[in-house]
Amino acid sequence: MAHHIEHELAALGLVLPPAVTPPPGVVLPFAFVRVVDRRALISGHGPLNADGTIAAPLGKLGREVTVEQGYAAARLTALAMLGSLRRALGDLDRITAWTRVFGMVASAPGFDRQPAVINGFSHLILELFGPDIGAHSRSAVGMAELPFNIPVEIEGEVEFDA
């Protein structure tokens, strides 16, 4: 039987990607999810395609990437993060609270709509988990550069049942 969150994902036609396939020659020597007691600390994730490759478009918001494309990239980033959480926890229904989200947006000079971009992440988490579990504190900030020219990187923290 499908679990609740996975059923919701399927109903929306969404797929959790495998772990990121880094560019050739790139080594990622860290855990994507670090479990400490009943907390899962989630490393920065970017937007992924269903096969784990880095999703386009690449570039900066306010230059190569529109707010709408950035919103979609933040939504893909949520799916990448959920994939990592499922691999670490075994079941997304174990999550009892989304506690903190830190959204970074590669921003061209003068771009100031970072919150609208990171809303793509927040809206999906709230849709899937509801307001009690999905509500989270959040920052949305602009960055001069992000790894691999991705437009969005998001990290976070959840609590879960042991």
pTM higher than the cut 0.85? yes
Q: Are 10 and 2 in contact (CB under 8 A)?
A: yes
Instruction: Convert the pLDDT of each residue in 99-123 to its tens digit.
Output: 999 999 999 999 999 999 999 999 9
Question: Residue 40 sits in which domain range?
Answer: 4-160
pLDDT at residue 1 tops 50: no
What CATH number does residue 140 fall under?
3.30.1330.40
Tokens for 150?
A: 């991705």
What's the number of domains the chain is made of? 1
86: Cβ–Cβ under 8 A, 6 or more apart, which residues?
Answer: 6, 16, 92
Query: Residue holding tokens 């479990």?
Result: 35
